[in-house]
């Protein structure tokens, strides 16, 4: 049964991954959902089903598109989804109480690390030459800026050369890619876990997600990644991507704090609606603010001082 489920999930994931070549607006959304079938297979059946799905999807993409595309599918989609699902179902028992499941805070830390590795993997699939990679990213940014200026979405000073601006922005691109990978992995994990829970196949009891906070190790890792991000090689790309991924993880932690802080409050619903609308409308402003809240929570233990303990889990 597990191989059959894995093969089916892998083919669906490969199809979602491959539609991105059409370039339509819908294709980007479908591409973002490509880890979902692998997550469902790994969470609902077994992590081996996730491995079958990864291998099947990579083979299907390699045959239908290119061998490089199959490698990209495995590094960017399949293996990250399998590994995070595997960690999510880890548990231990001391023989005297209920199972202790893998903490969500540590899982978010692993999601950030996996996102950084996926970012580097996607770069290496493009080229193993760092200078060629940096030049390709700079050309892509230059094209986007030219199009935005042409369509009057932005205005730049007349004496500002767009090529130099693109060259200056190119080292920061992995920061955004790492953050976007964290968002994609986290949302697909949540959606797949919900779907598997509805079907009654999720082995792990549904956790109290608002209590999620990153361990203090994440602060040291963020500091180290920020120092190494200035290196002009693929190690710098990895560090920059890890910095962005950790900031995105802290953003989710800050969002969890708002959910936790508002438990039982009359203003909970309007506050949460306002926050989520602002995340869409003013993402560039609210995302760093939520990340700072998450950082402060990890550093000072805000919720331990101000909040009652989370409700008991079944």
Could you state, in order of their start, the residue ranges of all structural domains in the chain? 1-89, 90-306
Alpha helices (runs of H) in the chain, residue ranges in sequence order = 2-18, 25-32, 36-44, 47-64, 67-72, 79-88, 104-126, 130-150, 162-169, 173-199, 217-228, 234-261, 268-281, 283-300, 302-306
Q: The tokens of 97 are what?
A: 């109480």
Residue whose pair of structure tokens reads 């001391």 in the numeric block: 94
The closest alpha carbon to 117, from 58, 31, 182, 33, belongs to 182
Does the pLDDT of residue 183 top 90, yes or no? yes
DSSP annotation of 34: T
Rg (CA), the chain: 21
Q: What is the pLDDT of residues 202-240, one digit of tens each?
A: 998 999 999 899 999 999 999 999 999 988 789 999 999
User: What pLDDT, on a 0 to 100 scale, did the predictor assign at position 308?
Assistant: 59
Question: Comparing C-alpha atoms, which of 302, 224, 276, 215 is closest to residue 250?
Answer: 215
Q: Evaluate whether 237 touches 117 at the Cβ level (below 8 Å).
A: no
Q: Is 270 strand, coil or helix? A: helix
Burial (Cβ within 10 Å: 0-12, 13-18, ≥19) of residue 9: buried
pLDDT (average), residues 127-156 = 83
Instruction: Considering only the C-alpha atoms of the chain, give the largest distance between any 2 of them, rounded to a whole number of Å.
Output: 71
pLDDT attached to residue 176: 92
- Per the listing, tokens 């969500």 go with 104
pLDDT attached to residue 309: 59
Mean pLDDT over 70-86 rounds to 94
Mean pLDDT of the chain: 88
pLDDT tens sequence across 146-174: 887 777 777 777 667 778 888 888 889 99
Give the distance from CA 65 to its chain's centroid.
25
Least confident of 25-29, 77-81, 179-183: 25-29
pLDDT at 313 > cutoff 60: no
Spatial contact of 37 and 43, defined as CB atoms under 8 Å apart? no
Please provide residue 24's backbone torsions phi and psi, each rounded to the nearest 5 degrees. -80, 160
Q: Residue 99 has what pLDDT?
A: 82
pTM: 0.91
């Amino acid at each position: 049964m597990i191989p059959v489920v894995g093969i089916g999930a892998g083919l669906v994931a490969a199809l979602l991954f491959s539609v991105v070549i059409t370039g339509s607006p819908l294709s980007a959304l479908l591409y973002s959902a490509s880890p979902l079938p692998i997550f469902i297979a790994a969470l609902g059946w077994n992590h081996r089903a996730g491995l079958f799905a990864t291998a099947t999807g990579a083979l299907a993409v390699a045959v239908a598109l290119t061998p490089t595309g199959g490698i990209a599918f495995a590094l960017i989609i399949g293996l990250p989804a399998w590994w995070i699902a595997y960690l999510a179902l880890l548990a231990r028992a001391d023989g005297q109480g209920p199972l202790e499941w893998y903490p969500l805070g540590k899982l978010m830390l692993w999601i950030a690390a996996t996102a950084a590795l996926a970012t580097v993997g996607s770069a290496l699939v493009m080229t193993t030459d760092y200078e060629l990679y940096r030049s390709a990213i700079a050309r892509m940014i230059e094209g986007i800026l030219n199009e935005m200026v042409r369509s009057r979405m932005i205005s730049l000073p007349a004496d500002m050369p767009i090529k130099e601006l693109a060259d200056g922005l190119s080292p920061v691109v992995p920061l955004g890619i790492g953050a976007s990978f964290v968002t994609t992995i986290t949302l697909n994990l949540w959606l797949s876990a919900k779907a598997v829970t509805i079907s009654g196949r999720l082995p792990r009891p549904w956790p109290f997600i608002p209590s999620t906070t990153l361990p203090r190790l994440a602060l040291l890792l963020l500091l180290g990644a920020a120092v190494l991000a200035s290196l002009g090689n693929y190690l710098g790309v990895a560090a920059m991507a890890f910095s962005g991924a950790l900031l995105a993880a802290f953003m989710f932690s800050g969002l969890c704090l708002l959910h936790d802080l508002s438990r039982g409050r009359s203003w909970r619903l309007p506050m949460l609606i306002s926050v989520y609308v602002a995340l869409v409308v003013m993402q560039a402003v609210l995302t760093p603010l939520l990340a700072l809240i998450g950082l402060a929570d990890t550093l000072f233990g805000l919720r331990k001082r101000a909040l009652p303990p989370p409700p008991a889990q079944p």
